[in-house]
Structure 1
Amino acid sequence: MVRPLLLLTAALTMSTALQAQQMQRQLGDFELKFSTRSSRSMAQGLITPSATGAFHGGLDVSHASGWYVGQYAPSMGLSPASTLRLDSYMGYKRRFHDSLGLEAGLIHYSQPNLAGNDSYAVYGGVSVLGSRFGGAWRDNPDNRTGTLFANLGQVPLLGLDLTVKLAHHQLGTPYTIGDGSQVDTFNDWTLQLSRPWQGIDLDLIYSSSDLQGGGCAAYSGVNTYCEGMLTLKAQRSFF
């Protein structure tokens, strides 16, 4: 059942803040980016590292051949309520011409201060004639996740970009809900329509899963909410 909620989020970005967040240098065939925010969206938009703590940042190094490596810390663990997290990655991204490109890579998620919390993800994506497709598999003992992503580009007549994401989750330990039944697998999905309007990027996002009622207590997927949610997001950069 879709909950009758419509969220409006406005994100206003100033150029001075962006300059403070990222430093970029070109050294021969290498490009270096040091940033307090994630500087890379991987696998054609399938995986985007996100900050979870008050202090975060990372270094990304890419070569003209298409190879790249980097490390991003979603949380530096500097506050008493947080712990150090590191996302280390390597991959290859190449655009052969305007109608074809590809990307593939590996990410290692770790919390150096905690034993037994490491996990890995492999990802790959391809762009063809303005459409983008990707897939990823994350081996996390608590929740093994396979994800498919498709950005179909602009829908004819409507002038909207259509993006679909579908994920399958397998819990490492089945979750027992109130009626005694167990949840060991579930699916969730996201459908997004996007278009620019007078300098503002507008996104209409519907997300949901196949868990309902008490089963939502077991939910730990890619969406914010277990049951149906409709979100309107508006974002504009002044510079």
Structure 2
Amino acid sequence: MTRFLLLATVLLLSPALMAQQIQRQLGDFDFKLGTSASRTMAQGLISPGAIGAFHGGVDLTHADGWYIGQYAPSMGLTPTSSLQLDSYFGYKQRFDDSLGYEVGLIHYSHPTLADRDSYALYGGLTWLGSRLGGAFNDKPANRTGTLFADFGQLPMVDVGLTLKLAYHQLGTPYALSNGGQVNSFNDWSLKLSRPWFGMDLDLIYSNSNLSGGGCDAYSGMNTYCDSMVTFKAQRSFF
């Protein structure tokens, strides 16, 4: 599977491919190949692609609702990055045209690093183009509960809105220099996104309830512990 993903990502980076996503119907299966995560609930919970890193993935969905996929936020092709693979499988079904549900499992792996693998159970609802979900991630160093909401493109302004909120319980309390300790912390993020002339523009606000020396214990979903506003412009190779 790893070799297949590596080959698939090389194909993704080929300048001859000029579509944002390759999609094929293979019998009862829907096959997707792209530089971003698939349309499943897992899209809001897998690790985002690192800035400046090569990333991509595959997704295979059966007509009955079962699916399996793998996404690499980083292929580890640069000296400052390491290989990471997020593998997932799950089941999704719709009650009607406006309401559906989804459950699944994600395996986060770092083949070149020891003792970094972890798993997450996730589930959620889709309703009128919005996705509301949650996940529980049992990591070696901490346990994390995540709530996720993707409201899709907001009417009138044509801007996508995504929210994440996570609670982290440390396996071992982190001792601070002032004699205190950190047993748990929260972090969150808000993302506004909009396509513009072939690019994906993201404006992201992230923060946590840690500050000062407490940030030494931070190992959450955001890049930084403190309040941060990030602007990102990304254009797919194809």
Question: TM-score, with normalisation over the residues of structure 1?
Answer: 0.74
**1:220 alignment partner, SS class:** coil
Specify the alignment match of 2:38 in structure 1: 40
Superposed CA RMSD: 3.8
**1:226 alignment partner, SS class:** coil
User: What CA distance in whole angstroms lies between the structure 1 residues aligned with 2:236 and 2:112?
Assistant: 37
Residues 231 and 17 of structure 1, relative CA distance in 2, 3 Å threshold: farther
1:118-174 deviations in Å (ceiling 9; x for gaps): 321011121223432110111102121110012345667766544321100111221
Specify the alignment match of 1:105 in structure 2: 104
Correspondence list, 1:198-237, <5 A: 201-235=200-234
Q: Which protein is bigger by CA-based radius of gyration?
A: 1
Residues 219 and 30 of structure 1, relative CA distance in 2, 3 Å threshold: same
1:64-86 deviations in Å (ceiling 9; x for gaps): 11111123445556778766544
**1:216 alignment partner, SS class:** helix
**2:215 alignment partner, SS class:** helix
Amino acid at match of 1:204: L
Is the CA contact (8 Å cut-off) linking 1:131 and 1:150 kept in structure 2? yes
Say which structure, 1 or 2, has more relative contact order (CA 8 Å, 6+ apart). Answer: 1
Specify the alignment match of 1:10 in structure 2: none
Higher strand share: 1
User: What CA distance in whole angstroms lies between the structure 2 residues aligned with 1:172 and 1:98?
Assistant: 43
Is the CA contact (8 Å cut-off) linking 1:44 and 1:125 kept in structure 2? no
Question: TM-score, with normalisation over the residues of structure 2?
Answer: 0.74
**2:44 alignment partner, SS class:** coil
Amino acid at match of 1:177: L
Q: Which moved more, 1:119-128 or 1:225-234?
A: 225-234
Specify the alignment match of 1:7 in structure 2: none
Is the CA contact (8 Å cut-off) linking 1:190 and 1:207 kept in structure 2? yes
Specify the alignment match of 1:71 in structure 2: 70
Specify the alignment match of 2:8 in structure 1: none
Specify the alignment match of 1:190 in structure 2: 189
1:185-209 deviations in Å (ceiling 9; x for gaps): 0000112334556776544322110
User: What CA distance in whole angstroms lies between the structure 2 residues aligned with 1:171 and 1:17?
Assistant: 46
**2:213 alignment partner, SS class:** helix
User: What CA distance in whole angstroms lies between the structure 2 residues aligned with 1:98 and 1:196?
Assistant: 26
Is the CA contact (8 Å cut-off) linking 1:139 and 1:145 kept in structure 2? yes
Residues 103 and 142 of structure 1, relative CA distance in 2, 3 Å threshold: same
